A and B are shown apart, each in its own frame.
Chain A
């Protein structure tokens, strides 16, 4: 790529290609318009929609490391939990009263933990990463459990009083404020995440997911990039956790549980990884599936969730994911339109072009 200078026609072509790639497609705009419309369309469903938005944000954070950087995590709830407890504690002791400000602080706190633990996932195989992430989440859960004089332990954190958003909008019983608030946060974070993955930084992630050795050979600082995206992802997960605490005014050990991390993987697998909307679509499907199953069999809905997981794997994640893979492949094309790049750089076929920096990644 050293031949590419600022003035060469190839550079212009590449620049134009990425500019077109980064443009919002009509389907993306439609997606967010529908999300906006849901505020008025389903006023009675705002409570579950709030949960969905939080789950979507959480899934979005996992997608950044799983779909883009290729890090499998079984303990992403760790950061969710850090955000949730942080928010609960600052609200309880009146340290930061304004929710939006608390949200930033919680994201920052989770990001710090993410940064500190990111060095643990740099080494080793997928299996090692699985166990390390799982171990980190377990340790945090154990800490929260042990220091029950601070966290409330198994009873949860009581007496969390959340002030009105921006000092204006008080959280109401029907979740109207909560939903609008969560949806706004989701949108803002989504825009930021979208910007990140469209940037050269995001593209380099695709390269190092495809082949870390080659990525290092073309001058991508692999470890630094992984640390960076892991930190960002942890921060977003923390924001999601903070939202949960703020909208429910409660926080329990459940936020750090293994089930939460496992469910999250399912969400992302249903929606598909590596195009950002996967987490959002997956969250909507998962939440309503869970709601339906929980109404059907209150105590045993987990059985059906498990069955879905097993079936997804047996059928083949890439071929079909619950609903047909074709529909999903189509969705990916619609959302992440990647116009093909004329001659020199070669392949701009669909989402594969994200890894375009590492051609023929065998």
Chain B
């Protein structure tokens, strides 16, 4: 029972790190980016290449996965995404689906279609036994890393100058521009950071989520659920949504395997109909 809870929390934390970039682009910037999972996949494969093939240490592999994915994200944002910001949702959907298809085929071409694993150092394998509850070391590490990231994000968004600039740019682009905020740069950096975090999540989660070329399609709906259920008024909404989703999904698969995934899909639809702004949103106007 507690093991299920523990696994659910680590899974949820992972989902949060994966999806928080999308919470900003989709939730705050109103950009329908279905290709978010592609960045997570990129991070995962970068880690695979660096750790398994080049033999780098696991930690360094994670850091580089973050860095490279952020660079890819930033580059794509400046060259492609920036042209699509002001188009209709339909255009954004088509555009990002196009990117997904391309990434799926490209990864299949480069890395093959079989499932990949990142080699985890032996120090992180096995599990602690606390009061009869088995806690995987690796999952504990995931919870720790994701916890740190969450707190950092929240602080960065609320306390730093960049955070306030971002919130200003999101609330009203024109006024923010008028105040001398370089909205394009703020969005670009945010997008790059969000992609980087997705990449980090992908690298961390390769063990738990599995990593193959159809990753972006497989997990797209999970990311979307996190954002829609969590709402976008703050980091905390998506955070709680991820935890709930994680626990719900793990518990659902464990206790009622026949129902499978459609519990969470149903929850998503109900929430969307009931509270289109998200479960945790506090009456946001947009």
A binds B: yes
> Is the CB of A362 closer than 8 A to any CB of chain B?
no
Please give me the residue from chain B that is nearest to A122 by CB atom. Answer: B273
**Interface set, chain B 90-107, CB cutoff 8 A to A:** 90-95, 97-106
Min distance, Cβ B214 to any Cβ of chain A, angstroms: 10
What is the chain B residue whose CB lies nearest that of A142?
A: B262
B248 to chain A minimum Cβ distance, whole angstroms, is 15
A313 x B95 contact (CB < 8 A): yes
* B95: nearest chain-A partner, CB-CB: A313
**Number of contact residues on A: which range applies?**
35 or more
Within 8 A of A (CB), among B217-260: 217, 220-221, 224, 228, 258-260
Residue B126 is within 8 A (CB to CB) of chain A in the complex? no
* Cβ of A274 to closest chain B Cβ, rounded Å: 13
- In the bound complex, residues from chain A placing their C-beta under 8 Å from that of B90 are 66, 72, 126, 265
* Interface check B129, CB cutoff 8 A: no
Q: Give the segment of A52-60, A162-170, A304-312, A327-335 that binds chain B.
A: A304-312
- CB nearest neighbor in A for B102: A306
A22 on the interface (CB 8 Å rule)?
no
Which secondary structure dominates where chain B touches chain A?
A: helix
Q: A132-B273, A139-B266 are in contact. Are A302 and B88 (CB under 8 A)?
A: no
The closest CB in chain B to the CB of A313 belongs to B95
Question: By the criterion CB–CB under 8 Å, are B272 and A124 in contact?
Answer: yes
Contact of A302 among B92, B101, B272 (CB under 8 A): B101
Chain B interface residue count, Cβ-Cβ cutoff 8 angstroms: 44
Docked complex Cα distance between A130 and B32 (Å): 10
Verify B98–A306 contact, CB threshold 8 A.
yes
Q: Once the chains are docked, how many angstroms separate the CA of A139 from the CA of B98? A: 23
Tell me the complex Cα distance, A273–B15, Å: 37
Partner of A265, one of B87, B93, B228: B93
User: B95: which A residues are within 8 A, CB to CB?
Assistant: 309-310, 313-314
Q: Which residues of A contact B104 (CB under 8 A)?
A: 302, 306
What is the bound-complex CA distance between A66 and B220, given in angstroms? 23
CA of A262 to CA of B98, assembled, Å: 9
Q: Is the CB of B105 within 8 A of A300?
A: yes
Q: How far is the CA of A303 from the CA of B106 in the complex (A)?
A: 7
Chain B residue contacts of A302, Cβ below 8 A:
101-102, 104-105
Task: Indicate if B108 sits at the interface (CB-CB under 8 A).
Answer: yes
B141 sits at the interface (CB 8 A): no
- Contact yes or no, B94 A300, CB < 8 A: no
The interface residues of chain A lying within 8 Å CB-to-CB of B210 are: none
A138 near B98 (CB under 8 angstroms)?
A: no
User: B34: shortest Cβ distance to chain A, in Å?
Assistant: 9
A142 interface neighbour in B32, B100, B261, Cβ under 8 Å? B261
B59 at the interface (CB under 8 A from A): no
Contact B91 A313 (CB under 8 A): yes
Complex formed: what's the CA distance from A302 to B216 in Å? 14
Q: Are B98 and A310 closer than 8 Å at their CB atoms?
A: yes
A262-311 residues with Cβ-Cβ distance < 8 A to B are 262, 265-266, 269, 299-303, 305-311
Q: Which 3 A-B pairs have the closest CB atoms?
A: A309-B98, A306-B101, A303-B105
Taking A300-B109, A317-B91 as known contacts, 6 extra A-B pairs with beta carbons closer than 8 A to each other, sorted by chain A number, are A258-B217, A300-B108, A302-B102, A302-B105, A306-B99, A310-B95
B contact residues vs A (CB 8 Å cutoff)? 26, 30, 32, 80, 83-84, 87-95, 97-106, 108-109, 217, 220-221, 224, 228, 258-262, 265-266, 268-269, 272-273, 276
